[in-house]
Amino acid sequence: MSARALRLGLPIVVLALVVLCWDLLVRAFAIPPYVLPGPGLVLATLIADAGLLWRSLLVTLTLTFEGFLLAAVGGILLAIAFNQWRLVDYSLYPYAVILQVTPIVAIAPLLLIYLPQPLAVLVCAWIVAFFPVLANTTLGLNSVDHNLLALFELYKASRWQVLWNLKLPSALPQMLTGLRIAGGLSLIGAVVAEIAAGSAGAGSGLAYRIAESGYRLNIPRMFAALLLLSLAGVAIFFTLSAISYLALRRWHESAIDRER
Amino acid sequence: MSIPPPTGVSRDISTIVALRGVEKGFANGVRALDHLDLDVKAGEFVSVLGPSGCGKSTALRIIAGLSPPTVGAVEWPTGPVPIGFVFQEPTLMPWADVSANVRLPLKLAGDDDSTAVAQALDRVGLKNFAQSYPRELSGGMKMRTSIARALVTEPQLILMDEPFAALDEITRFKLNNDLLTLWQDLGRTVIFVTHSVFESVYLSQRIVVMTPRPGRVFTQITIDAPYPRDEHFRTSPEYGAFCRRVAEALGNAMAGGVA
pLDDT digits (tens, 9 = 90+) for A197-228: 775 656 688 888 888 888 888 999 999 999 99
Lowest mean pLDDT, pick from A40-44, A190-194, B88-92: A190-194
The shortest C-alpha distance from B7 to chain A (Å) reads: 29
User: Does residue B137 fall inside a structural domain?
Assistant: yes
- Total tally of structural domains belonging to chain A: 2
Shared-domain flag, residues B170 and B75: yes
Three-state SS for chain A is CCHHHHHHHHHHHHHHHHHHHHHHHHHHCCCCCCCCCCHHHHHHHHHHCHHHHHHHHHHHHHHHHHHHHHHHHHHHHHHHHHHHCHHHHHHHHHHHHHHHHCCHHHHHHHHHHHCCHHHHHHHHHHHHHHHHHHHHHHHHHHCCCHHHHHHHHHCCCCHHHHHHHHHHHHHHHHHHHHHHHHHHHHHHHHHHHHHHHHHHCCCCCHHHHHHHHHHCCCHHHHHHHHHHHHHHHHHHHHHHHHHHHHHHCCCCHHHCCCCC
Q: What pLDDT shows up at residue B11?
A: 44
Q: Are B98 and B26 in contact (CB under 8 A)?
A: no
User: Does residue B164 fall inside a structural domain?
Assistant: yes
Query: Which of A144, A145, A154 should we substitute to test contact with B (largest number of B Cβ atoms within 10 Å)?
Result: A154
Chain B residues inside the 8 Å CB shell of A169? 93, 95-96
Q: Tell if the pTM clears 0.80, that is, is over it.
A: yes
Q: What pLDDT shows up at residue A259?
A: 62
**pLDDT tens for the 259 residues of chain B, in order:** 444 444 434 444 588 999 988 888 888 878 888 888 899 999 999 999 988 777 888 899 999 999 999 999 999 988 889 999 999 999 999 999 999 999 999 999 988 778 899 989 988 889 899 999 999 999 889 999 999 999 999 899 999 999 998 888 888 888 999 899 899 888 899 999 999 999 999 999 999 999 887 888 888 999 888 888 888 898 899 999 999 999 999 988 888 755 4
Q: What pLDDT shows up at residue A200?
A: 60
User: Does residue B89 fall inside a structural domain?
Assistant: no
Q: What pLDDT shows up at residue A201?
A: 59
Chain A residues inside the 8 Å CB shell of B95? 169-170, 172, 250-252
Q: What CATH code is carried by the domain that includes residue A131?
A: 1.10.3720.10
Alpha-carbon B22 to chain mean position? 18
Nearest-angstrom CA–CA distance, B123 and B105: 17
Shared-domain flag, residues A114 and A228: yes
User: Does residue B229 fall inside a structural domain?
Assistant: yes
Nearest-angstrom CA–CA distance, A89 and A85: 7
Shared-domain flag, residues B185 and B216: yes
| H or E, element range at B23 | strand B15-25
User: Does residue B246 fall inside a structural domain?
Assistant: yes
Shared-domain flag, residues A63 and A190: yes
The shortest C-alpha distance from B131 to chain A (Å) reads: 11
Split at pLDDT 50, 70, 90, the class of A73 is: very high
Q: How many CB atoms lie within 10 A of CB A96?
A: 19
Shared-domain flag, residues B218 and B130: no
Q: Do A251 and B91 touch (CB under 8 A)?
A: no
pLDDT(A104) > 70? yes
Q: Is B180 helix (H, G, I), strand (E, B) or coil?
A: helix
Cα nearest neighbour of B85 on chain A: A151
Query: Which of B57, B87, B108 should we substitute to test contact with A (largest number of A Cβ atoms within 10 Å)?
Result: B108
Shared-domain flag, residues B62 and B118: no
Shared-domain flag, residues B164 and B74: yes
Nearest-angstrom CA–CA distance, B251 and B200: 15
Q: Do A154 and B91 touch (CB under 8 A)?
A: no
Shared-domain flag, residues A185 and A126: yes
On the CB side of A237, CA atoms within 13 Å amount to 10
Q: Do A252 and B95 touch (CB under 8 A)?
A: yes
Among the candidates B105, B123, B154, a domain finishes at B154
Q: Do A150 and B66 touch (CB under 8 A)?
A: yes
User: Does residue B1 fall inside a structural domain?
Assistant: no
Shared-domain flag, residues A83 and A4: no
Nearest-angstrom CA–CA distance, B107 and A155: 10
Nearest-angstrom CA–CA distance, B18 and B164: 25
**Torsion, CA A208, CA A209, CA A210, CA A216, rounded to 10:** 110
User: Does residue A19 fall inside a structural domain?
Assistant: yes
User: Does residue A8 fall inside a structural domain?
Assistant: yes
Q: What pLDDT shows up at residue A260?
A: 63
The shortest C-alpha distance from A253 to chain B (Å) reads: 9
Shared-domain flag, residues A9 and A118: no
Q: For chain B, what is the largest distance between any 2 Cα atoms, rounded to a whole number of angstroms?
A: 54
Shared-domain flag, residues B73 and B190: yes
Shared-domain flag, residues B40 and B161: yes
Shared-domain flag, residues B130 and B179: no
Shared-domain flag, residues A3 and A51: no
Q: Do A252 and B96 touch (CB under 8 A)?
A: no
Which domain range does residue A185 map to?
38-255
Which domain range does residue B105 map to?
96-154
Shared-domain flag, residues B244 and B123: no
Shared-domain flag, residues B119 and B146: yes
User: Does residue B104 fall inside a structural domain?
Assistant: yes
Shared-domain flag, residues A23 and A44: no
Cα nearest neighbour of A162 on chain B: B108
Q: Do B66 and A154 touch (CB under 8 A)?
A: yes
Return the CA Rg of chain A: 23
User: Does residue A21 fall inside a structural domain?
Assistant: yes
User: Does residue A143 fall inside a structural domain?
Assistant: yes
Shared-domain flag, residues B171 and B139: no
Shared-domain flag, residues A19 and A139: no
Among the candidates B154, B172, B199, a domain finishes at B154
Cα nearest neighbour of B135 on chain A: A251
Chain A residues inside the 8 Å CB shell of B87? 147, 150-151
Q: Do B91 and A169 touch (CB under 8 A)?
A: no
Q: What pLDDT shows up at residue B255?
A: 82
Shared-domain flag, residues A229 and A129: yes
Shared-domain flag, residues B182 and B126: no
Shared-domain flag, residues A64 and A26: no
Summarize pLDDT for A140-156 with one digit per residue, the tens: 999 999 999 999 999 99
User: Does residue A260 fall inside a structural domain?
Assistant: no
Chain B residues inside the 8 Å CB shell of A161? 108
Q: What CATH code is carried by the domain that includes residue B70?
A: 3.40.50.300
User: Does residue B32 fall inside a structural domain?
Assistant: yes
Q: What pLDDT shows up at residue A3?
A: 84
Summarize pLDDT for A153-177 with one digit per residue, the tens: 999 999 999 999 999 999 999 999 9
Residue A251 backbone phi and psi in degrees, to 5: -135, -20
Shared-domain flag, residues A19 and A112: no
The shortest C-alpha distance from B95 to chain A (Å) reads: 5
Chain B residues inside the 8 Å CB shell of A157? 108
- Total tally of structural domains belonging to chain B: 2
Shared-domain flag, residues A55 and A8: no
Q: Which residues of A fall below an 8 Å CB-CB distance to B?
A: 145, 147-148, 150-157, 161, 165-166, 169-170, 172, 250-253, 256
